[in-house]
Chains A and B, each alone.
Chain A
Amino acid sequence: MSTTQTPPALHWALAGSVLLMIAAGGLFWYASNMAAAKRQHNHDEIVVNIHPHSCEPNALTVPAGRASFRIVNRSERAVEWEILDGVLVVEERENIAPGLSQVINANLQPGDYAITCGLLSNPRGTLHVTPTAASDAAAKAKPSMVAFVGPLSEFRVYLAVQSSALIKAATALNQAIASGDLAQAQALYLPARAAYQRLAPAAQRLAELDNQINARADYFEKREQDPAFVGFHRLEYALFQQRNLDDVTPIAQRLLADVTTLKQQLLAQSLPPEQLVGIVVRNLNSLAEVRAGSGEEERYSHSDLNGFAANAQTARKVVDLLRPMLSKSSADVLANVDQAISDFDNQLNAFKSADGYVSYDAVTAAQRQQIAAKAKALATAMDGIDPALGLSGL
Chain B
Amino acid sequence: MKKTPLALLLTLGLLNTPLSAFAATAPLDLVGPVSDYKIYVTEKLDELASHTQQFTDAVKKGDLATAQKLYAPTRVYYESIEPIAELFSDLDASIDSRVDDHEKGVKAEDFTGFHRLEYSLFAEKSTKGLDALADGLNKDVQDLQSRVAGLTFPPEKVVGGAAALLEEVAATKISGEEDRYSHTDLYDFQGNIDGAKKIVDLFRPQIEQQDKAFVAKVDKNFATVDKILAKYKTADGGFETYDKVKDNDRKALVGPVNTLAEDLSMMRGKLGLN
Contact = CB atoms under 8 A, between A and B. Distances in A.
A148 B108 contact: no
Interface in B68-116: 86-93, 97, 100-104, 108, 110
A149 B103 contact: no
B155 A149 contact: yes
Contacts of B97: 120
Contacts of B39: 157, 160
Contacts of A293: none
A235 B256 CA distance: 59
Interface string A112-127: 0000100111100000
A92 B247 CA distance: 31
B234 interface: no
Contacts of A94: 167-168, 171
Contacts of B86: 89, 92
A150 interface: yes
A156 B152 contact: no
B152 A150 contact: yes
A114 to B, nearest CB: 9
B88 A153 contact: no
A92 B167 CA distance: 12
Interface stretch (B24-32, B49-57, B184-192, B193-201): B24-32
Interface in B91-145: 91-93, 97, 100-104, 108, 110
B273 interface: yes
Given A94-B171, A121-B108, A88 B88 contact: yes
A270 interface: yes
Given A87-B90, A95-B172, A152-B31, A146 B272 contact: yes
A367 B93 CA distance: 53
A8 to B, nearest CB: 54
A340 to B, nearest CB: 23
Nearest to A95: B171
A154 B100 contact: no
B63 to A, nearest CB: 30
A146 B101 contact: no
B89 A145 contact: no
Main secondary structure of the interface of B (DSSP, over half): helix
- Considering residues A77, A78, A146, A157, which has the most beta carbons from chain B within 10 angstroms of its beta carbon? A157
A53 B103 CA distance: 9
Given A89-B86, A157-B39, A148 B27 contact: yes
A131 interface: no
B89 A157 contact: no
B224 interface: no
A272 interface: yes
A153 B171 contact: no
A121 B102 CA distance: 7
Contact of B28 (A95, A270, A321): A270
Contacts of A151: 152
A119 B171 contact: no
A139 interface: no
B38 A153 contact: yes
A221 to B, nearest CB: 40
Nearest to A156: B35
B154 A150 contact: yes
A272 B152 contact: no
A149 B152 CA distance: 10
A79 B144 CA distance: 23
A82 interface: yes
B89 A150 contact: no
B27 to A, nearest CB: 4
A77 B101 CA distance: 9
Interface string A187-219: 000000000000000000000000000000000
A121 B103 contact: yes
A153 B28 CA distance: 9
B84 to A, nearest CB: 10
Nearest to A270: B28
A119 B91 CA distance: 15
Contacts of B31: 149, 152-153, 156, 270-271
A89 B89 contact: yes
A89 B153 contact: no
B34 A153 contact: yes
Contacts of B272: 146
Given A82-B89, A145-B28, A149-B155, 5 more contacts: A121-B110, A145-B27, A151-B152, A153-B155, A154-B152
23 contacts: A87-B88, A87-B90, A87-B91, A88-B87, A89-B86, A89-B88, A94-B168, A95-B172, A119-B102, A119-B103, A121-B104, A146-B272, A146-B273, A148-B28, A149-B34, A150-B152, A150-B155, A153-B35, A153-B153, A156-B32, A157-B35, A160-B35, A272-B28
Interface of A: 53, 77-78, 80, 82, 84, 87-89, 92, 94-95, 116, 119-122, 144-146, 148-154, 156-157, 160, 270-272, 321, 324
